[in-house]
Chains A and B, each alone.
Chain A
């Protein structure tokens, strides 16, 4: 069992709930430009993750459990822009994103089952119709 993933998930969900991002209303208040808190959440997280991303490989030869520190790489192509646009439409309609939807369920938000069903269906359609099974990673 890779228990660090469970602990990481617990902290992640706690942080999402604490930050308010598990409430679609608060995400929508950012997207409607009345409360810019979401940028602070992202900024604080990025500050910490970028520090560990660049510092940990210098301090430790390899990760505690994993084989090596992996570079985070993203290709750039039309899928980046088209996918992000479609993501933006959904985010603007609902105030939901993948992590916040899961945390929202944990806060007892039962209607978010509709959102989670949508997330699975969207991921299914993507994989079924546009899924590329010739590439190895991601």
Chain B
């Protein structure tokens, strides 16, 4: 058994690129940014609910939208320069249900894999460390349970 059956190159370099991206935005804007807030701030364009009509969303929704669009286009550039188009084999109901829980949980706990996982750990935030330990443990238990129930991939 090996820990990295397809090697470490793509992981280490890909992670470094993500780190450079967050560092670049920090050098320019002065703030560490994760990805999940994009989903709340973008809802302020369409929802009239009081929560989404707060001033804070109007102040940050445009630049967060740029990051979100950039993230999509960055992956397009990867495919066109050195990658291949990709379609997942994960069932649509898992994508939808998983997205629903992830969207709710990330906003409820104020961070996601990039917010708590990269920005939080990088700034030695104890709440983020706890959040990462919790979501990683729970996700491993859920993923292993689903696998043992015969759900694949």
Residues of A whose CB lies within 8 Å of any CB of B are 1-25, 28, 31-38, 40-53, 56, 60, 62-76, 79-112, 114-128, 130-133, 136-138
How far, in angstroms, from A122 to B86 measured CA to CA in the complex?
25
Looking at chain A's contact residues, is the secondary structure mostly helix, strand, loop, or mixed? helix
Given contacts A16-B75, A75-B127, A102-B68, contact A115 B110 (CB under 8 A): no
How far, in angstroms, from A81 to B33 measured CA to CA in the complex?
21
Contact A98 B112 (CB under 8 A): yes
Given contacts A11-B74, A13-B71, A127-B51, contact A4 B99 (CB under 8 A): no
Contact B73 A13 (CB under 8 A): yes
In the complex, how many angstroms separate the beta carbon of B98 from the nearest chain A beta carbon? 2
In the complex, how many angstroms separate the beta carbon of A38 from the nearest chain B beta carbon? 7
In the complex, how many angstroms separate the beta carbon of A83 from the nearest chain B beta carbon? 3
In the complex, how many angstroms separate the beta carbon of B84 from the nearest chain A beta carbon? 8
Chain B residues numbered 77-102 whose CB sits less than 8 Å from any CB in chain A = 77-79, 82-83, 85-90, 92-102
Closest 6 CB pairs of A and B: A9-B70, A94-B98, A19-B14, A118-B99, A122-B103, A83-B109
Contact B122 A127 (CB under 8 A): no
Q: Mark B6-40, 1 if CB is under 8 A from A, else 0.
A: 10101111111111111111111111111111111
Residues of B whose CB lies within 8 Å of any CB of A are 3-6, 8, 10-40, 42-43, 47, 49-52, 54, 56, 62-64, 66-79, 82-83, 85-90, 92-114, 116-128, 130-132, 134-147, 153
Contact B87 A109 (CB under 8 A): yes
Q: What residues of chain A lie closer than 8 Å to B24, measured between beta carbons?
A: 4, 7-8, 11
In the complex, how many angstroms separate the beta carbon of B114 from the nearest chain A beta carbon? 5
Contact A127 B49 (CB under 8 A): yes
Q: What residues of chain A lie closer than 8 Å to B100, measured between beta carbons?
A: 90, 118-119, 121-122
Q: Which of A56, A83, A117 contacts B96 (CB 8 A)?
A: A117
Q: Which of B90, B114, B135 contacts A95 (CB 8 A)?
A: B90
Contact A72 B144 (CB under 8 A): no
Contact A120 B87 (CB under 8 A): no
Contact A84 B116 (CB under 8 A): yes
Given contacts A8-B70, A111-B88, contact A63 B26 (CB under 8 A): yes
Contact A42 B117 (CB under 8 A): yes
